[in-house]
Structure 1
Amino acid sequence: MQATAYTYDPETRCGSVLLDDGTPVPFDAEAFDAGGLRLLRPGQRVRIEYAGGAEGAPGGPEERRVTLVTLQTL
């Protein structure tokens, strides 16, 4: 899934992305590290993978957990 980097704290390696519908989704240091990135700037297009909280599932999208954040390449 594609998204746009929204926030990023280099000290904690945590932040959030915006889905294309404008929904913010947070990510933790583990998800950032899984992508092999060193830095992330707001506005960069990224590819994310997440677990749980699928549409229509119990808990809904509020329980999504990002498991990977990496740069989107063409």
Structure 2
Amino acid sequence: MQATAYTYDPETRSGSVLLDDGTPVDFGAGAFDAGGLRLLRAGQRVRIETADDGGSGAPRITLVTLQTF
């Protein structure tokens, strides 16, 4: 799934993305580290992978990496 980087804190390696429908979704350091990135800037297009968050209805991001065409 694709999204747009919205926030990123380099100290905690966590942040949030905006899904294409405008929904913000947070990600943690584990998802950032899984993507092999070193830095992320707001506005960059990213590819994310998600997992069901146990019935809460909100996706849990498991991977964030740059979108390549």
Q: TM-score normalised by the shorter chain: which range applies?
A: over 0.9
Q: Which structure's residues are more often helix, by fraction?
A: 1
TM-score (norm: length of structure 1): 0.88
| Number of aligned positions between the proteins | 69
Structure 2 unaligned regions, length at least 5:
none
Could you tell me how far apart the structure 2 residues matched to 1:4 and 1:42 are?
Answer: 7
Among all aligned residue pairs of Structure 1 and Structure 2, give the percentage whose two residues are the same amino acid: 78
Q: Structure 2 length normalisation: TM-score? A: 0.94
Instruction: State the superposition RMSD in angstroms.
Output: 1.3
**Structure ID, larger Rg:** 1
Structure 1: which 4+ aligned runs deviate by more than 6 Å? none
Q: Does 1:65 align with 2:60?
A: yes
Name the structure with the higher strand share: 2
